[in-house]
Amino acid sequence: MRRAHRPQAVAIAEGYIPSWSNGLEPEFLSHETASILHVSDAGAHVTITVYFSDREPAGPYRLTVPARRTVHQRFNEFEDPEPIPLSTDYASLIESDVPMVVQHTRLDSRQAENALLSTHGLRGRRLSFGRRGFVPAGSGTYRS
Amino acid sequence: MRRAHRPQAVAIAEGYIPSWSNGLEPEFLSHETASILHVSDAGAHVTITVYFSDREPAGPYRLTVPARRTVHQRFNEFEDPEPIPLSTDYASLIESDVPMVVQHTRLDSRQAENALLSTHGLRGRRLSFGRRGFVPAGSGTYRS
Amino acid sequence: MRRAHRPQAVAIAEGYIPSWSNGLEPEFLSHETASILHVSDAGAHVTITVYFSDREPAGPYRLTVPARRTVHQRFNEFEDPEPIPLSTDYASLIESDVPMVVQHTRLDSRQAENALLSTHGLRGRRLSFGRRGFVPAGSGTYRS
Amino acid sequence: MRRAHRPQAVAIAEGYIPSWSNGLEPEFLSHETASILHVSDAGAHVTITVYFSDREPAGPYRLTVPARRTVHQRFNEFEDPEPIPLSTDYASLIESDVPMVVQHTRLDSRQAENALLSTHGLRGRRLSFGRRGFVPAGSGTYRS
């Protein structure tokens, strides 16, 4: 009856880094952030893949979240293997070898006053075969 | 023990396209967007039905999300079978033949400064019979 | 193997109606809204209970969502059995006899420019006995 | 077939208390709030642990939610065992001895006009052993 946890994936369908900003940097630089919380006693190895509307995905971007720490990763600080283009629609899939919590936030400071949005990423399973790449948790399934 | 995934439905109860805007277009045109992520190796066929408070539903609106792509679909760009009216409360049901992730975002630029909201759509199952049209994932059920 | 669906409950922990507004009414009147979507072929009977920090709950507030319709109900338009006080922290529990989708949105127009927030309500089950009044869907359970 | 409910945990990965504000206090003081709803007939004992990017966690912060009440707890009002530092990325884990609903909201009034964000916390289970500190509800599991 012991349980071992599968590698986990979290999807964020909405992504857009505004291409300009107003106000002091870095506080008011327009940005998108993936806030990752990892409360266990061992580090988490995290991989991020970025999807676009008109080209193949970018990444993987890799980062480590130490034990009992949170990392608030800004998408506009990615450089390896390539920066995320500005003013471009994207989406992201965040995978970890252990359970984690991922919340997505955007600060849009293109105008004089900021706008904010935030929501938790959608958890699911990343499948390595066939045509079903990501299955949201709780999706209806048939057994055959 | 193989599993095949059912067609999937995602509901967004909140919908409202502001009827005016401030600022440059198309960036700052007031709009609502359904961001759809589809990470598998085959395209997804997506159907959107729009519900109102005082008339029968509009649609279906159809779009395709290619393999490993995201589509950020603005509701104010729908034209066939009819445009979504402005300044009108609506809700939407988004259906796909394969698993997908849907996030809903509104940019409201009616005033000088933008406001943003965003949340993931609520996943569930679309039933084709009886009086139970959409059942959110994880809803309590009796077996009889 | 037929399934019948239990009455459903959705909780929104965050509630606050700002006590003043800027701009044209009713568009820019500060308000909180519960957007309810009901896609089936029969109407839904909905009951809303409002909780406070320092007094017993208010309600029930009753409304009907017709078949294939959405209702975007503003909390500041409730009058029976009593209006929701302004500038007061509250939370709400929304119950229905059939499955529904509930999304919560606030428009805060206390300052010159609007701010928006939105999220889906948390689904669960309302229990009529004992000390466990509302159990979020997917909560860990023991069987005894 | 009776069910008893496990102690519950809710995670919020995004946390940041802006270090300055504009406007009247306390309404427009920049703040983060955890809104907790507890609808049962007995009080809930709640414990909050706060995680950072570069130091060990702070807390536990303790509060009680009475029967049929909501508490909207501002993170910037915590004092015991220590205040939450301003302008610092953090995340939080909120635990209760009975089921509850937790929603997270930020009011950012650093500029002349407010920005708001809000989302429900991610529910899961807090494990007291091994390297798996928090497991989101619905995570895929192996049985071995």
C-chain CB neighbours of B135 within 8 Å are 5, 99
Chosen for mutation from A117, A127, A141, A143 (greatest number of chain B CBs closer than 10 Å) is A117
Q: Which two tokens stand for residue C49?
A: 């209970």
D-chain CB neighbours of C75 within 8 Å are none
The answer as to whether C58 is a domain residue is: yes
The CA distance from B58 to the nearest CA of chain A, in Å, is 24
Please give the angle made by the CA atoms of A92, A94 and A95, to the nearest 5 degrees. Answer: 150
A-chain CB neighbours of B12 within 8 Å are none
The CA distance from A79 to the nearest CA of chain C, in Å, is 32
The answer as to whether C140 is a domain residue is: no
D129 pLDDT above the threshold of 90: no
Residue from the list A4, A99, A113 with its beta carbon closest to the beta carbon of D144? A4
Looking at residue C109, its amino acid is S
B-chain CB neighbours of D115 within 8 Å are 115
Q: What phi-psi label fits residue C22: left (phi over 0), alpha (psi between -120 and 50 degrees) or beta?
A: beta
D-chain CB neighbours of B113 within 8 Å are 113
For every residue of C108-125, DSSP letters joined together read E-SSSS-EEEEEEPEEEE
For every residue of D9-70, DSSP letters joined together read EEEEEEE---S---SSTTTTS-EEEEEEEE-SSS-EEEEEEEEESSSPPEEEEEEEE-TTEE
Q: Which two tokens stand for residue C10?
A: 């959705």
- Which residues lie closer than 8 Å to D48 by C-beta, 6 or more apart? D34, D59, D60, D61, D62, D63, D73, D78, D92, D93, D94, D95
pLDDT at A143: 33
What residues of chain C have any CB closer than 8 angstroms to a CB in chain A? Answer: 113, 115, 119, 138
The answer as to whether D108 is a domain residue is: no
State which residues form the domain around D46: 1-63
The CA distance from D59 to the nearest CA of chain C, in Å, is 23
B144 pLDDT above the threshold of 50: no
- C90-141 tens-digit pLDDT: 999 998 888 888 888 877 666 656 666 667 777 677 765 544 577 776 554 4
The answer as to whether C123 is a domain residue is: no
D121 pLDDT above the threshold of 80: no
Chain-chain contact of B71 with A53 (C-beta, under 8 angstroms): yes
Residue from the list D39, D116, D125 with its beta carbon closest to the beta carbon of C116? D116
The answer as to whether C53 is a domain residue is: yes
- Tell me the helix, strand and coil percentages in chain D, rounded to 5: 0, 50, 45
Residue from the list A115, A120, A141 with its beta carbon closest to the beta carbon of B115? A115
Q: Pick the residue from chain C with its C-alpha nearest to A114.
A: C115
Chosen for mutation from C3, C94, C135 (greatest number of chain B CBs closer than 10 Å) is C3
D59 within 8 A of D137, measured Cβ to Cβ = no
Compute the half-sphere exposure of residue B135: CA atoms within 13 Å on the CB side of its CA. 19
Looking at residue B111, its amino acid is Q
* Mean pLDDT score, A34-42: 85
Residue from the list D70, D116, D137 with its beta carbon closest to the beta carbon of C13? D70
Residue from the list C87, C91, C108 with its beta carbon closest to the beta carbon of D114? C108
Collapsing DSSP to helix, strand or coil, D77 comes out as: helix
Q: Pick the residue from chain B with its C-alpha nearest to D113.
A: B113
- Calpha distance C132→D100 (Å, rounded): 10
The CA distance from A55 to the nearest CA of chain B, in Å, is 7
User: Above pLDDT 90, what percent of chain A?
Assistant: 28
Collapsing DSSP to helix, strand or coil, B75 comes out as: helix
Q: Which of D57, D54, D92 is nearest to D73 (CA)?
A: D92
The answer to whether the peptide bond before residue B26 is cis (omega within 30 degrees of 0) is yes
A-chain CB neighbours of B31 within 8 Å are none
Chosen for mutation from A118, A128, A135, A141 (greatest number of chain D CBs closer than 10 Å) is A118
Q: Pick the residue from chain C with its C-alpha nearest to D97.
A: C132
pLDDT at B3: 45
Q: Pick the residue from chain A with its C-alpha nearest to B115.
A: A115
A59 within 8 A of A49, measured Cβ to Cβ = yes
- Calpha distance B67→A2 (Å, rounded): 37
pLDDT at D118: 67
* Mean pLDDT score, A24-46: 80
Q: Which two tokens stand for residue C58?
A: 């208010």
Higher pLDDT, C6 or D29: D29
Please give the angle made by the CA atoms of D79, D82 and D88, to the nearest 5 degrees. Answer: 105
- Which residues lie closer than 8 Å to D29 by C-beta, 6 or more apart? D21, D76, D107, D109
- Which residues lie closer than 8 Å to C15 by C-beta, 6 or more apart? C32, C50, C75, C84, C89, C90, C91, C92, D35, D70
Chosen for mutation from A139, A142, A143 (greatest number of chain B CBs closer than 10 Å) is A139
Chain-chain contact of B13 with C114 (C-beta, under 8 angstroms): no
- C8-45 tens-digit pLDDT: 888 888 888 877 666 666 766 777 888 888 888 878 89
Please give the angle made by the CA atoms of A66, A72 and A74, to the nearest 5 degrees. Answer: 125
Looking at residue C72, its amino acid is H
B-chain CB neighbours of A54 within 8 Å are 69
- Which residues lie closer than 8 Å to D80 by C-beta, 6 or more apart? D61
pLDDT at B21: 65
The neighbours of chain C, by the rule of 3 or more Cβ pairs under 8 Å, are: A, B, D
For residue A82, what pLDDT band results from cuts at 50, 70 and 90? very high
The answer as to whether B103 is a domain residue is: no
Q: Which of D102, D128, D125, D93 is nearest to D7 (CA)?
A: D125
pLDDT at A5: 55
The CA distance from D135 to the nearest CA of chain B, in Å, is 17
- Which residues lie closer than 8 Å to D143 by C-beta, 6 or more apart? A1, A2, A3
Domain count, chain D: 1
- B48-96 tens-digit pLDDT: 999 999 999 999 999 999 989 999 998 989 999 999 998 899 999 998 8
Q: In what order do the strands lie in the sheet with B31-38?
A: B69-74, B31-38, B101-108, B115-120
The answer as to whether B110 is a domain residue is: no
B-chain CB neighbours of D14 within 8 Å are none
Q: Which two tokens stand for residue C84?
A: 């929701």
- Which residues lie closer than 8 Å to A93 by C-beta, 6 or more apart? A9, A10, A11, A12, A48, A49, A51, A126, A134, B37, B39
B28 pLDDT above the threshold of 80: no
- Calpha distance D80→D68 (Å, rounded): 26
Torsion angles phi and psi, residue D76, rounded to 5: -80, 0
Q: Which of B29, B8, B9, B4 is nearest to B18 (CA)?
A: B29
What residues of chain B have any CB closer than 8 angstroms to a CB in chain D? Answer: 113, 115, 119, 138
- A5-32 tens-digit pLDDT: 556 888 888 888 877 666 666 766 777 8
Higher pLDDT, C18 or D92: D92
Collapsing DSSP to helix, strand or coil, C98 comes out as: coil
The interface predicted TM-score (ipTM) is: 0.82
